[in-house]
Structures are given as C-alpha cells and as structure tokens.
Amino acid sequence: MDGPEIFFARVRGARLRAVSAVVPGNAVDVREEMLAQGADVEKAARFSDVSGLAVRRVAPEGVTASDLCAVAAGRLLDAMDIDRESVDALLFVTHCPDFPLPASAALLQHRLGLSRKCLAVDQNAGCVGWLNGLYVASAMVAAGTCNRVLLLVGDTPARFSDPANRVIAPVFGDAGTASLVEAASDGEMSFAMATEGAKFDALAIPGGGARVPRRIDDAPDGPFDRIVRDSKDTPWTLDGQCRIWMDGMAIYSFAVSAVPRHVAAHLAHDGLAPADVGRCFLHQANRIMVEAVARKAGFRPEQVPQEVLAAYGNQGGSSIPVQLCAHEWTIRRPVLLCSFGAGLAVASCTLSMEGARFLPVHEDATPADPADRERRIRYWHEKFRR
C-alpha cells in the first residue's frame, strides 16, 4: 500500500447509538502460560513487558462467538429499552461461525427474538471487521432501507490456539460485542478503507476451507494434520477451525508503514490534524505496534488508550468496541477509530461520540460444558436417521 489508494466515504443520516461488550470470565495469565510451556522466567517477563500482553480471556468449552455476542446484544437491547421487533437488520462479523452453513446471523435472529423480516447476514473481515460492519450498517441506515441495525462482532480464537505456539497462543483473547446504529438527521461518520490482498498470506487460517479442505480420505497422520516447525521450533498446522498462521514481521511492517499513512490521508481528507482528535482508538495488536503507529501518525501517548490490551489481549475485530466500553467518556472533539489486520486491510472512521451510550465491559460467567459437543453430535445423528 505505497500510495493513497484509499476508499473514502462520508455517511450522513446515521449514528452510533450504543455499544456493549462481553468477555469470558476465564482469565489466563500470559506469563504463567508461557512458563508452563517451557519458557524461562526472564523470557516470559520480557515478552509480556514488550508486547503489553498480560492476561487474555478464553471462552470455555461449548461457548462460541455467537454466544458471547448474544449476551452482549441482550444487554444492549435491554439497557436501551429497544423493541426487538424494531431491529431491521442484524450483521454478524466473525471468523469463528457456529457452522459453515447456515449463517450464524440466522441463529442469532431467532435467539434474540428479532422479527422474521429482520435481515440476517454474516461477514468475515478479521481485525477490521467492526469498522467494516459499522460502515455497512451506517450505509444501510443512511440509504433509508433500515432505521435500526444491530452489529454483532466477536471471535473465539483463544480457545482453539495451541498453547505450545508462542507466536499465537499468548496473543489472542475471546470476546463478543454488540453495537446499535440508528437513523439520525444530524448523524455523520467518515470512513476510509484499503486492502492489500496480495499479502493475504501474512495472516490467515489456511486450512479447512474450500481452498485447502480436509478430505474424507485424509489419513490422521497425513499432510493436512502434520505439524511443521519453523526455525524457532514453533508448531504450525493446517488442521483446526481457528488455527491462525501469522507472519509477525510482515504484520509489523504493514502496521508501521501503511497504517500511519492511511491515518494521515484520512485526517487530511476530513480537514483534521492529530491535535483535533479527542482520542485515537487503535486496534490493540500489541504495545509495540500501537505505540509505533500512534507515534508515526502524530498522536500523543495520552490520545491513544491501551488499557484493554493488558486486561484482555488482542481481541481481533472486537478490539475497538471493547475499548469504547472500557473508556471513560468526557470527549467533545471527534474520535478516530482505526483497525488493521487480515487481508491485509486497514480501516478507519472519524465520528462524534456525543449522545452514544457505552455499557461497561461485562464478564460472562457461563461455565464449561464438556458434554455439550456430545449432545450436539447426538442431535444431528438423530436428524440423520429420520
């Protein structure tokens, strides 16, 4: 992304009215986890200090991204006293759907008691998912086709990661979020988005989809299941629903070069300077990237919150809305939101947060249910037999 090849869009007539965020109650200490996998004390401490990652949240067995988002959505709808029949569309953004088919949004429409005429759509956009979803939701409202859109964003990669993989396991945390976008005559949001698809293989879940599928005749010890170790003895495999592959240096290079240029171009397009922005909420990848992007984009440290990184980990697409819910709101100036990641993609939005409500981050206490998988297998087996 060497030039200003950016999609700009100014959406009028829609506003972000409320955001709710839910994290699993299970908190995993990153240092203790690394020590359990054989890292020495000094190395574990250095990783945590440099990355800013201290604790990550892990959903229990049987709890999916849609479960966490359903809790977040229920809390939001109840707190805002929203008539569920009035929700015109539900967008669910995740890379951890309940099923390959149907869309998890359909299940959420029923679970949340929304109208049968409510549009229910899944999206998959990785770390830029919330901002992509916010643009789609606000554009639908601004177009006059919807008055009220519920945007649900969540993932559960932490539960699927291999603890022995020290590139992935200490980084990602699980979360589910809900955001409400409504029609408003004075609402206005400015978006900027760009994608460098040629570099898609820097961050991916490469196995299990239609491009590299698991085959019926794959042997248990065949190439698909094989564990391949890199030069640092990190284990990687194609097998697994959320087995993420990440080229850390490629992501870092993209973040510290493309993202500051993107932010600068967006602010210039809006006639703003970094000093005009009340807060800059960056995707919480790790401390090094956040601080480098903020510095190169011209923001002061106090403009860029980082509290949630140590408390919850890198939450992918949920990173921005969780920050919004964890923040104390006294800001009257425009706010900049910016995410970057899989694609490789970067997305940003400037908007006013006046009048929006942010519910405190809620810890979901749903216990693990080891028998849940077996019950669901029996359910489908019975369906097959009919």
Contacts 24+ apart (CB under 8 A), 367-374: 367/60, 368/60, 368/61, 368/62, 368/63, 369/60, 369/61, 369/62, 370/61, 370/62, 372/61, 372/62, 373/61, 373/62
The pLDDT assigned to 2 comes to 41
Residues across the chain: 386
Angle, nearest 10°, between helix axes 319-326 and 129-142?
80
Query: DSSP letters along 287-355, please?
Result: HHHHHHHHHHHT--GGGS--HHHHHH-B-GGGHHHHHHHHS-----S-EEEEEEETTTEEEEEEE--TT
- Which pair of tokens denotes residue 87? 């929700």
Where do the domains of the chain lie?
7-199+245-385
Low-confidence ranges of the chain (pLDDT < 70): 1-4, 240-242
The pLDDT assigned to 75 comes to 97
- Which pair of tokens denotes residue 313? 């980990």
As a whole number of angstroms, the distance between CA 277 and CA 335 comes to 6
The pLDDT assigned to 370 comes to 82
The dihedral through the CA atoms of 225, 230, 235, 237 has a sign that is negative
Q: Is 77 helix (H, G, I), strand (E, B) or coil?
A: helix
The pLDDT assigned to 67 comes to 96
Residue 116, Cβ density class (10 Å: 0-12 exposed, 13-18 middle, ≥19 buried): exposed
Helix (H) or strand (E) holding 188: strand 175-195
Strand ranges for 26-155 from DSSP E: 27-29, 55-57, 89-93, 119-123, 148-155
For 365, residues 6+ apart whose C-beta sits below 8 A from its C-beta are: 25
As a whole number of angstroms, the distance between CA 36 and CA 31 comes to 9
- Total-model pTM: 0.92
Q: For the structural domain made of 7-199+245-385, what CATH number should be given?
A: 3.40.47.10
What pLDDT digit, counting tens, does each position of 66-114 carry? 999 999 999 999 999 999 999 999 999 999 999 989 999 999 999 999 9
As a whole number of angstroms, the distance between CA 224 and CA 214 comes to 7
The pLDDT assigned to 1 comes to 39
The pLDDT assigned to 143 comes to 95
Compute the chain's Rg from CA coordinates.
21
Task: Please count the CA atoms within 13 angstroms of the CA of 293 that sit on its side-chain side.
Answer: 32
The answer to whether 159 and 174 are in contact (CB under 8 A) is: yes
For 97, residues 6+ apart whose C-beta sits below 8 A from its C-beta are: 65, 66, 103, 104, 122
Q: What single-letter DSSP state applies at residue 163?
A: T
As a whole number of angstroms, the distance between CA 188 and CA 11 comes to 6
Pairing of strands 7-24, 362-364: parallel
The pLDDT assigned to 3 comes to 43
CA dihedral defined by 344, 350, 354, 358, rounded to 10 degrees?
10
The pLDDT assigned to 240 comes to 66
**Amino acid at site 118:** C
